[in-house]
């Protein structure tokens, strides 16, 4: 981190979501309400899937892990953002910034890969039903889960390694409400053109390829289902539609943020707010509301506690 005669930056000043106190208060209330309502819903999904012996299929195994990833992801930005809304000076240490950035991409990368795994699961279940129990056995499911965690770690550690080699000697103001790659590398006291290209390749290109690959895979599945006359056709279409909705919510903002040169746009902060706070909590709920088995299991669990 030392750069000859430069002073190492020890902290970053976050300029926040907006400078308007009224808008800050409004966003604070809305995010807090949303956070307190939806976050327990994610843990309820995990509890329901773990407690119901009827929800042992790989689909529910991965859905429970999606809820866990999204709940964990929501702790990276939202709590600190809520505290900063009430603070005059929003400061985060250099180490805290790097830590936030690491977990943001570690869990975000893992979730993106989990959606790929869930698409693979649906493809085998719908297009190769006779081989499903053999291919998606418990051992394979845990192996895929380990692979996506490792993939998220590798993706994130590359981001962090590139930033740790950059010298920061001032200014130290981040025009955002959290630490992320585009804003942080712009504060480096050196030419960051090559680093920006590497970041776009690591985050942007990976996000775009996963997004296009997922859409293509679900298009194949839907075409296959459309040509069949099985009783599970409507259920398969409903499941695939749900997955596609989550794919757009997950990858849309990521593509907007990471696949272009790191220039500031007015919509960046709003997109980042939905990408880091709103959508992660909402994704598992979307799955649950469109899954009759999980909803029925939740009702049974709720009635057992009332009895």
What residues form DSSP beta bridges with 173? 13
pLDDT in tens, 78-96: 898 888 888 888 899 999 9
118 within domain boundaries: yes
Evaluate if residue 221 carries a pLDDT over 50: yes
Mean local confidence (pLDDT), 22-40: 85
Q: How many domains does the chain have?
A: 1
H or E stretch covering 91: strand 91-93
Q: What is the pLDDT of residue 228?
A: 67
**Domain-embedded: residue 3:** no
Residue 306 has a pLDDT of 65
Q: Which residues contact 108 (CB under 8 A, 6 or more apart)?
A: 73, 152, 254
| pTM of the shown model | 0.88
In a domain? residue 171:
yes
Residue 194, domain extent: 11-306
Is residue 6 in some structural domain?
Answer: no
Question: Using the 8-state DSSP alphabet, how is residue 202 labeled?
Answer: I
- pLDDT of 230 > 70? The answer is no
Asked if residue 226 belongs to a domain, the reply is yes
Tokens of 207: 């996000």
**Would you call 256 exposed, middle or buried from its count of C-beta atoms within 10 A (0-12, 13-18, 19+)?**
middle
Distance between CA atoms of 244 and 238, rounded to whole angstroms?
A: 10
Q: Which residues pair with 91 in a beta bridge?
A: 13
| Band of residue 2 on the pLDDT scale cut at 50, 70, 90 | very low
Task: Write the DSSP assignment of 263-305 as a string of letters.
Answer: ---TTHHHHHHIIIIIHHHHHHHHHHHT-HHHHHHHHHHHHHH
* Burial readout 18-44 (b: 16 or more C-beta within 10 A, e: otherwise): eeeeeebeebbeebeebbeebbebbeb
Distances (CA, A) of 124 to 61, 130, 283, 292: 15, 9, 23, 21
Residue 1 maps to a domain: no
* Alpha carbons 110 and 170: distance in angstroms, whole number: 33
Res. 229 pLDDT band, cuts 50 70 90: low
In a domain, 141, yes or no: yes
In this structure, what CATH number is given to the domain that contains residue 244? 1.20.1070.10
**pLDDT of 294 higher than 50:** yes
For 4, 89, 170, 203, the CA distances from 188, given in Å and listed in that order, are 14, 22, 8, 19
88 found inside a domain = yes
Contact 156, 100 (CB under 8 A): no
Cα end-to-end span (Å), the chain: 61
Digit-coded pLDDT (tens) for 257-277? 888 766 777 788 888 888 888
Note whether 197 and 262 are within 8 A (CB).
Answer: no
């Amino acid at each position: 981190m030392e750069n000859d005669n430069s002073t190492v930056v020890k902290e970053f000043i976050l300029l926040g979501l907006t400078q308007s106190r009224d808008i800050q208060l409004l966003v604070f209330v809305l995010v807090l309400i949303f956070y307190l309502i939806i976050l327990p819903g994610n843990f309820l999904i995990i509890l329901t899937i773990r407690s119901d012996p009827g929800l042992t299929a790989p689909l529910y195994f991965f859905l429970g892990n999606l809820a866990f990833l999204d709940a964990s992801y929501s702790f990276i930005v939202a709590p600190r953002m809520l505290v900063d809304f009430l603070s005059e000076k929003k400061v985060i240490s250099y180490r805290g910034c790097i830590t936030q950035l690491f977990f943001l991409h570690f869990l975000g990368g893992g979730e993106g890969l989990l959606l790929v795994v869930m698409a693979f699961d649906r493809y085998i279940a719908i297009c190769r039903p006779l081989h499903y129990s053999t291919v998606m056995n418990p051992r394979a499911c845990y192996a895929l889960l380990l692979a996506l965690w490792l993939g998220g770690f590798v993706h994130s550690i590359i981001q962090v390694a590139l930033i740790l080699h950059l010298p920061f000697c001032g200014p130290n103001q981040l025009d955002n409400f959290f630490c992320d790659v585009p804003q942080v590398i712009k504060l480096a006291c050196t030419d960051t053109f090559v680093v920006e290209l590497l970041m776009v390749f690591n985050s942007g290109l990976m996000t775009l390829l996963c997004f296009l690959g997922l859409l293509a895979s679900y298009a194949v599945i839907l075409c296959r289902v459309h040509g069949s006359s099985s009783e599970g056709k409507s259920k398969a279409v409903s499941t695939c539609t749900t997955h596609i909705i989550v794919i757009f919510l997950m990858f849309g903002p990521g593509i907007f943020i990471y696949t272009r040169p790191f220039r500031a746009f007015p919509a960046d902060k709003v997109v980042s707010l939905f990408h880091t706070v709103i959508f992660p909590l909402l994704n598992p709920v979307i799955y649950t509301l469109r899954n009759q088995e999980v909803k029925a299991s939740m009702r049974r669990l709720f009635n057992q506690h009332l009895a």
